[in-house]
Structure 1
Amino acid sequence: METVENKMGNFDFEKFHAIRSRSLGRLIWRLKRHIHQHVEPILLAKGHVDFKLSSLAFIANIDENGTTNNELAKKACVTKQAMSKVVKELEEHKYVYIWPNEADARSSVIFLDERGKQLFVDLNEAMMEVRTRFDKAIGAKKCQQMMDTMYDLLAVLDEEEERQK
């Protein structure tokens, strides 16, 4: 019986580790992990003990004039059922409130509650601390270039994605 190693030839772990350390996916994942490790304790200290950072992608898409569950699901690229579950959790913890949709009685509109608005104020403060930390680590100019490049890249990718729909 042939072993996995024989099928793959001589697997070069050293080469694999060298490639992995500069892999785009891994770099983004590690950067996200560092941000979360800095932000979570700040939010906890400010009383957001029941907020999951994974819910940020959902709550961040709520407009000033409210957003329907369907619109949120589209923006967050999740199913309506998954969105409903997250919205219910956010409502239970008073980050959002739900109001009947005057334009469509079959749906409701989701708004940021006062606690949800405070979350964004607190999150902004935490992210300013993260930015200060990054500026100290690599310099403000390099950090700004990195952010500008990511912004430009995402604008192109979002536009391509929208055209494919």
Structure 2
Amino acid sequence: MSKYETAPYSVVHKEGSFEIRQYDAYITAAVDETSLRGTSGFGQIFDYISGKNARQEKIAMTTPVFNALDEKTLSTEFVMPKSFTEETLPQPTNPRIRLKKVEPKLVASVTFSGTVNPDKIKAYEEKLLAWTKAQGKIPVGNFRLARYNPPFLPPMFRRNEVLLDLL
């Protein structure tokens, strides 16, 4: 079990490395990015939870770090601890950071280990889409990447996921 709080969900169906999950509502701190290799968004949100916010309040680290994957843009998002609401979170002082509520939703996921690169992500997107359709589910929106571990952890021990919302 992880020492970090994670985005709240329950598993509806599991088949190997694939799952259908029901996520509860949660809040993220998000920054738009231009590349998965970029660390500016991660660093800016890390600064926010480290106390560079309107109340200079530290916020606990959670997992996973999400990257919304879109053909033109992507974002880096940290899940905020459940103890916060939209009203109780300290406001970011960095104008690039936005707080957003993610509504409850049904999500398909595939888990994999190792490093993350565009070719690997694309391969898992294709596998997840095929599996999702085989389950009779209708995908909506764009894929997301979820990373659960710090970069200094050896790649073989890292947990990554590609996620896709379902109708």
Which TM bucket (shorter chain)? under 0.3
Which structure has more strand as a fraction of its residues?
A: 2
TM-score by length of 1: 0.23
